[in-house]
Amino acid sequence: MMVERSRRGPRTFPRLLACAVATALSASGCASHTAPAPAPAAQAAPASSERQTVSQIVAKSAASVVIVRTPTGLGTGFVVDRGVVATNLHVVAGAAQIVLATSSGKRVPISAVAGLDATHDLALLTFAPEASPAPLTLRGAPPVAGDAVIAIGTPQGLAFTVSTGIVSAVRELSPKLTLVQTTAPISPGSSGGPLLDDSGRVIGVTTLISRSGQNLNFAVPAQYLAQLLVHGGPPITLAEFSKLRWARGAKGGRDEGIARPANRPSFPESVAGFRIGESMDDARSACHGRWRATVNHAECGAAPIELPFANGPVLLYFSRDHLVAVELISASLEDTRNALVSKYGPPDGAARTRTGREQVGWRLNGGSITVSVGRGRLEILYTSQAPDVEANY
């Protein structure tokens, strides 16, 4: 099945990002947006499902792939409708100026942002429709492990680089969050590029890599992009977009597919009201619920400060009577991801443990955050990197 492109463009701006959970997402405000008229959409051309060679696919698709440049870096994007380019949100986060560079050498300025999806790290950018290359087709059928794939991107600034591989796995972290794992190599600058099947249809948007393993690359499935094209919002100007407090990548460098720890907020000094480094006695005094403790572990039934994405007891871990890790329990993967991605940027990687649990993690200055999903339980572990941390805390 082929995903038909929206003829009228996105309709509803995801107010979740700017208003509904402004505290959790650190958005700048809830001002209404004046929408410029959306660009007219092109007729969706029929796409063949017949297999093609890599060279045939590249010849037909390369003109629809663009370099996305901002004052602080670059990434990749691709045309999904007449005058509409899709890319990763973290590629353009906070930018007041965005320019596209096409394979023919043209430089096209972006006029507005037509849709945002922070949960799946997606953005739709609009530009003059008369300058638009032909749109790529989104595949309706989900990918499966073993499918041949082609990635086109700008790794390390090397424009329009092609790599091939297969779908390693389709990892469903929750009913609302799925990632496509692939062996097609991607590198910094590839984020936002298309992941194509062997018929030249888009099955995903290349988004992040894991540096903790070999050739672990991930893409956001095209189904989320299709939903954004239909249910996105009226465009907002770049001036309005730049005022939203998105997590940003490395300043002055190219997009890394991840936000580097040096450019992220530092590891929090306290988590849910418990101060990192405090003694067990101090933590017990702060606890608002039932307290249970052993030598290096404690459980507090009610944290001093409530978090919008966590509930239930808080687990505390001590090393030499200093709090070094806090574990929270959450009931909503979407709320957790929204809050953490908004503050720290996209996770550094994703993996599956030997016990079958899915994990994503952030490396920060002074510590790390790991979200673990499995067996009906969602755990968020904040771990400091204090020099006196013992392995057995």
Average pLDDT of 211-236?
85
- For 277, other C-beta atoms within 10 Å of its C-beta total 14
Average pLDDT of 120-139?
92
- For 142, other C-beta atoms within 10 Å of its C-beta total 15
Question: What is the average pLDDT score of the chain?
Answer: 78
Residues 6+ apart with CB under 8 A from 251: 72, 73, 263
Query: Using CA atoms, how far apart are residues 365 and 274, in angstroms rounded to an integer?
Result: 19
- Rounded to the nearest 5°, which phi and psi values hold at 316? -120, 140
Q: Which pLDDT does position 256 carry in this prediction?
A: 38
pLDDT tens digits along 163-180: 999 999 998 866 667 899
Average pLDDT of 244-248?
50
Q: Which pLDDT does position 32 carry in this prediction?
A: 26
Q: What is the largest CA-CA distance in the chain?
A: 69
Query: Using CA atoms, how far apart are residues 231 and 234, in angstroms rounded to an integer?
Result: 10
Residue 252 pLDDT more than 50? Answer: no
User: Using an 8 Å Cβ cutoff, are 366 and 266 in contact?
Assistant: yes
Residue 266 pLDDT more than 90? Answer: no
DSSP letters for 89-116: HHHHTT-S--EEE-TTS-EEE--EEEEE
Residues 80-113 as b/e (b if ≥16 CB within 10 A, e otherwise) read bbbbbbbbbbbbbbbbeebbbbbeeeeebebbbb
Residue 312: pLDDT band with limits 50, 70, 90: confident
pLDDT cut 70: percent of the chain above it: 76
Which residue would you say has higher pLDDT here, 113 or 21? 113
- Rounded to the nearest 5°, which phi and psi values hold at 163? -135, 155
Query: Using CA atoms, how far apart are residues 27 and 307, in angstroms rounded to an integer?
Result: 16
Average pLDDT of 288-295?
91
Coil, strand, or helix at residue 270? strand
Residue 212 pLDDT more than 70? Answer: no
Q: Any idea what DSSP says for residue 348?
A: S
- For 74, other C-beta atoms within 10 Å of its C-beta total 21
pTM above 0.75, yes or no: no
Least confidently predicted of 27-36, 254-263, 293-302, 380-389: 27-36
Q: Residue 62 has which token pair?
A: 């390369």
